[in-house]
Structure 1
Amino acid sequence: MPRILTYNVHRCLGTDGRLSPARIADVIAAYEPDVVALQELDVGRVRTGGIDQAHAIAQALGMHVHFHASMRVLEEEYGNAILTHRPSRLVKAEALPGSPGKPRLEPRGALWASVNLGGAELQIINTHLGLRRHERLAQVNALLGPHWLGHHTCREPAILLGDFNATPRSRAYQRLTVHLWDAQALARLPKPRATFPSRLPMLRIDHVFVSRGIAVQRVEAVRTPLARVASDHLPLLVEFQVIRGKAHQSSMAHAHG
């Protein structure tokens, strides 16, 4: 059964102050995901020793990598990546809108890859949204619009995941759940799984949203001792099935009932 994992790696800087892409790779490898969405990666940045963190982690996992720099200064890059060992192609990687009148906010972006999972073509969009409410709403509207999820080639099944900096009470989250399902809601967990901060997780800001055609089997916030120290976020793992035909309609209706 396919597994997808989203993980804000905090430039591979652990809560113990250690920089280690290898440790991040070890946290991920223990769960053998098919697709990994990473946020906050440094590529060629002086502060993290000039390493290409996206490629270092992908290499350790034996995966290909699609990277998008949401921020670029000279040779230094910072952004998000999709990693997979399945056949895949990058469809799009672009900036998301910021807050008008606040040009100094950290730029945000998203990347979309088409991944072949056992004959099923899955559209995967990884993002890291802004810290301000209006900024997040503009970014969510862009992701739901004609250039991303609303694009004619973004056919279901699709998964939108990443660090949304938005709890389930936020307008950004609620706007997304009009169109997509939160994997945690579909998994019917006795208690939702928080991912931030990693040492004592209180907030649910890392999410996996799925379209019709995806049946969520299991959701887990990875709370191993290594995961609790490797980054300031915990990874969120989702195990799912791609459903063809009408079988998924009842499960989706049930989830929304």
Structure 2
Amino acid sequence: MESLTGSDRALRILTYNVHGCRGTDGRLAPGRIIDVIREARPDVIALQELDAGRARSGHVDQAQAIAEALGMAFHFHPALQHVEEQYGDAILSRLPLRLVKAGPLPAPHNRPLLEPRGAVWAAIRFGDVELQVINTHLGLLPQERVMQAEALLGLGWLQHPECRGRPAVLLGDFNAWPRSRAYELMASHLRDAQRSLPGHRPRATFPSRWPMLRIDHVFISGDVVVRAVEVPRARGERLASDHLPLVVDLVIGGPAA
């Protein structure tokens, strides 16, 4: 996939569940994640399942380590925190970014032991255009995912005055395959990037060794056009995480307000 980053209004965005930087061979290897991302040459990155200060990953702040290796700025949101150990999602960018919001997503009240879920929203500016990027990782239960999808589509996120009507991308690991209630809810309000590209056959991202499920998504709204989609599947991608990265080239429209 040829880079589009030479265009003033084009950028490459990547979403990737990195599984705590533990590969399908069981080895903890952040360097392999960095190599996969570097090979894709993205401008903006959404990562899920990052550890920070956790004993199981050597107390490394993975978002910071990956961002520093790639020469990018970042914002990390810990959906789960216990004492000094954190686990969550991040947005990285080689373009100027500002954090707009980071916070939790709802869950059924009768299931208090569910893993907390959240989202992080950053505004990415290039030239006179500002793109609203929201990265998330939804829950495992269908009821939970629908609640979280409704929240993301509501006033706190995509319908917020800073986001509504502007070029926006909602992406991440939704744990929701097409035809699921959560996916259909998202697709009824937003455009699935993989289905927005004429002639493109949507590709699965999980599990990385034998991808069968399309649960990692890029949804777009506003004046955003999809120019290319790729799911890299070389040996490095199959080893680095249990998910494959999803890479989308976008062209962003009119000037930011």
In the TM superposition, residue 182 of structure 1 has moved relative to its aligned partner by: 0.1
Match of 2:188 in 1: 178
Match of 1:143 in 2: 152
Query: d(CA) in 2 for partners of 1:111 and 1:228?
Result: 27
In the TM superposition, residue 203 of structure 1 has moved relative to its aligned partner by: 0.2
Query: 4+ residue runs of structure 1 moved beyond 3 angstroms?
Result: none
Quick one: which amino acid aligns to residue 103 of structure 1? P
Give the alignment's TM-score, normalised by structure 1.
0.93
SS at match of 2:212: coil
Query: d(CA) in 2 for partners of 1:30 and 1:59?
Result: 16
In the TM superposition, residue 191 of structure 1 has moved relative to its aligned partner by: 2.3
In the TM superposition, residue 108 of structure 1 has moved relative to its aligned partner by: 0.1
SS at match of 1:174: helix
Match of 1:199 in 2: 209
SS at match of 2:146: helix
Query: d(CA) in 2 for partners of 1:65 and 1:121?
Result: 16
Quick one: which amino acid aligns to residue 181 of structure 1? R
In the TM superposition, residue 225 of structure 1 has moved relative to its aligned partner by: 1.1
Deviations 1:121-179 (A, max 9, x none): 00000000000000000000000010000101114100000000000110101011111
Q: 1:46 to 1:3 in 2, by over 3 A?
A: same
Match of 1:14 in 2: 23
Q: Which moved more, 1:112-121 or 1:161-170?
A: 112-121
Q: Matches of residues 171-250 of structure 1 in structure 2 within 5 Å?
A: 171-244=181-254
Q: Matches of residues 83-122 of structure 1 in structure 2 within 5 Å?
A: 83-122=92-131
Quick one: which amino acid aligns to residue 21 of structure 1? P
Match of 2:139 in 1: 130
Q: How many residues align?
A: 245
Quick one: which amino acid aligns to residue 237 of structure 2? A
Structure 2 unaligned residues grouped into runs of 5+: 5-10
Quick one: which amino acid aligns to residue 243 of structure 1? G
Query: d(CA) in 1 for partners of 2:231 and 2:217?
Result: 10
SS at match of 1:172: helix
In the TM superposition, residue 22 of structure 1 has moved relative to its aligned partner by: 1.3
Q: Matches of residues 150-165 of structure 1 in structure 2 within 5 Å?
A: 150-155=159-164, 156-165=166-175
SS at match of 1:30: helix
